[in-house]
Amino acid sequence: MFVFDKMPDPVLGLGGLEPGLSTEEKAVQGAAHQFAREVMRPIGVALDKMTPEEVIAHSSPIWSYLKQIKDSGLLDLKALAAMSAQEKARMMPLIFEELGWGDSGLTIAAIALSFPAFAAGMSGNPELIEEFGSSLGCWVGTQPDRGSDAVDWDATEVHPGARQPRGNLNAKVVGDQVVVNGQSAAWVSAGPLAQSAFVCCQCDYGDGLWDAQGRPNLINVLVPFDHRVTKGKPLNKLGQRALPQGEIFFNEVVLSKKYIMNGRDTAAGGLFGIVTFANMDMAMTFTGVARAAFEHALAYVHERKQGGVALINHQSVRARIFNMWRKVETARALTRRVVDFNFGSNGPHLLASITGKTFVTQTAVEVANEALQLFGGNGLAKDYPLEKLLRDATASLIEDGENNLLSLKGATWLSKWYQHHS
C-alpha cells in the first residue's frame, strides 16, 4: 500500500497526471505552452472574428503566426525526423497538446501547409526538396463527390453491389507524364494560402479508373501551382475559422513522372500513412482543446457566485467538473498510448489512430459543451471563450474523416484481425 505522513495536494503538470518529464521535455512543453498562450490564442481569437477573405489577406495576422511558428522551431520537421521513435512518441503529444490548447485551427494550418515539403523530404529527391522544401502546401484528398469515399480509399465501406464514383479530380499517366484534371472539395485546409499540393486522387494508368475488384486506382502526386491551377472563394464555416479552406481547380496540369510520390502499387499505402498520421495528430491536438475547455470551466466556477456561494461549492457542479477532468485525462492517456503504439514495434496502424481521433474529438465536444453549460449565458457570448472552443471541436468530428465513417473503418480492421488471428 502507499503510506503518507500527511496528505499533500496532488502534483499536476500542464498535462495533468504527468508521471514525469525529462528536463528537455519540460522545457519544450513550457516553450509550446508560452507560444500557445502568447501568440496562438490572441491570433486565433482575432481570426475567428474575421471573414474568410480577411483571414487570408496580406494584412491578416495569420502571416505573423506562420512566421512565428516557423521561427519557434516547435514544428521543425527536420528536428522531429532526427528524433528516435521513442523521443517522437514522448515529444509530439506534449507539443501538439499545447498548440491545440492555444488554437486548434492554427495548429492544423501549420501541419497542412507542410504536407508537400514533408512528402518531398520523404522522397529523398534533391530536386523535389529544393522545389517544395519551403513551399506553402496543402493536402488535396477530398472532392465534391468524394468526401468519405476519399477517406475510404480502399472502399471497405461500399454498399454491396455499388462502387465509388469517378469523382471530380482524376489523374492520367501517359508515357513519361501525369496529367491532373478537375477540382478538389472546398475543404482543403490551407488551400487558399497554398503554392503547391500533395494530391491523392483516382488515376487511370491506361486501363481505367477502377481495379478488378471495383476499387479506385490511386495516385499520390506533388503539384506545384502555376497558371493552370486556380482557387475558389475561401470557405465560410462554423469552427476552426483560423484555418483557411477552399477548393482548388486543376486545369489539365501536365507534370513529369518525377512528381509522382506513389503510383499504382503504393498509392493506397501512401493514403494509409497520411490518414494514420493525421488522425493521430487530431487526437494530440484535440486533447489540448478539451483541456482548454476544462481549465476555463474550473476557473469560472471558482469566480462565479450563484446560490450565495461560488459555483464550485454546489455539489452537482463539483461532480460535473470532476467528470470533465476525468474525460480530459482519459483522452490524453489514450492519445499517448496511440502515439506510443504508432512509434512502437507493432505500429503504426490506422486502427490505433482512428481509436484516438474518434474518442478524443468526441470528448473535446462533450467537455466544451459541459464547460459552456457551466458558463451559463456567458458560455454563449462571443466575449467568452467557450462558444469558439465548442465550434472548433465540432469541426473536428468531421475533419480528417467523419467519426462514424472512421469508426466503420476501425471495426473493419478489428474484424480483419479477428478473422486472421482466431
Ligand X SMILES: Cc1cc2nc3c(=O)[nH]c(=O)nc-3n(C[C@H](O)[C@H](O)[C@H](O)COP(=O)(O)OP(=O)(O)OC[C@H]3O[C@@H](n4cnc5c(N)ncnc54)[C@H](O)[C@@H]3O)c2cc1C
Residues making contact with ligand X (CB under 6 A): 112, 139-142, 147-148, 151-152, 157, 185, 187-189, 240, 395, 398-402, 404-405, 408
Closest CB to ligand X among residues 169, 260: 169
For residue 411, the minimal CB distance to ligand X (Å) is 11
E strand map for 20-176: 139-140, 169-174
46 versus 408: smaller Cβ distance to ligand X: 408
- Cβ of residue 380: shortest distance to ligand X, in angstroms? 22
When the beta carbons of 293 and 395 are compared against ligand X, the nearer one is: 395
In the complex, least distance from residue 144 CB atom to ligand X, rounded to whole angstroms: 8
- Please, which residue, 157 or 329, has the CB nearer to ligand X? 157
Taking CB positions, which residue lies at the least distance from ligand X? 147
Distance CA 144, CA 165 (A): 11
- Residue 187 C-beta: closest distance to ligand X, Å: 3
Please state, as a whole number, how many other Cβ atoms lie within 10 Å of the Cβ of residue 369. 18
**In angstroms, what CA-CA distances link 228 with 254, 297, 301, 401?**
9, 49, 55, 29
Q: Are 53 and 234 in contact, with CB atoms under 8 Å apart?
A: yes
Query: Least distance from C-beta 192 to ligand X, angstroms?
Result: 12
What CA–CA distance (Å, rounded) separates 49 from 388? Answer: 10
Residue closer to ligand X (CB basis): 91 or 111? 111
Give strand ranges (E) for 190-344.
196-204, 218-224, 229-234, 245-256, 260-262, 305-306, 309-310
Q: Which is nearer to ligand X, 15 or 401 (CB)?
A: 401
Strands 245-256 and 177-183: antiparallel
Q: State the Cα–Cα distance between residues 59 and 248, nearest whole angstrom.
A: 23
CB of 156 to ligand X, least distance (A): 9
Q: Which residue number, 240 or 287, has a Cβ lying nearer to ligand X?
A: 240
Q: Kindly tell me which of 242 and 260 has the beta carbon lying closer to ligand X.
A: 242
Nearest approach in angstroms of CB 141 to ligand X is: 4
Tell me the CA end-to-end span of the chain in Å, nearest whole number. Answer: 39
34 alpha carbon, distance to own chain's centre: 21
Task: Decide: helix, strand or coil at residue 366.
Answer: helix
Residue 158 burial (C-beta neighbours within 10 Å; 0-12, 13-18, 19+): middle
Phi-psi region of 220 (alpha: psi -120 to 50; beta: other; left: phi over 0): beta
Rank residues 61 and 246 by Cβ distance to ligand X and give the closer one.
Answer: 246
CB of 140 to ligand X, least distance (A): 5
> What span, in angstroms and rounded, lies between the C-alpha atoms of 174 and 59?
43
> What are the start-end ranges of the H helices in 133-266?
148-151
Which residue, 65 or 187, has its beta carbon nearer to ligand X? 187
- Pick from 348, 331, 329: nearest CA to 339: 348
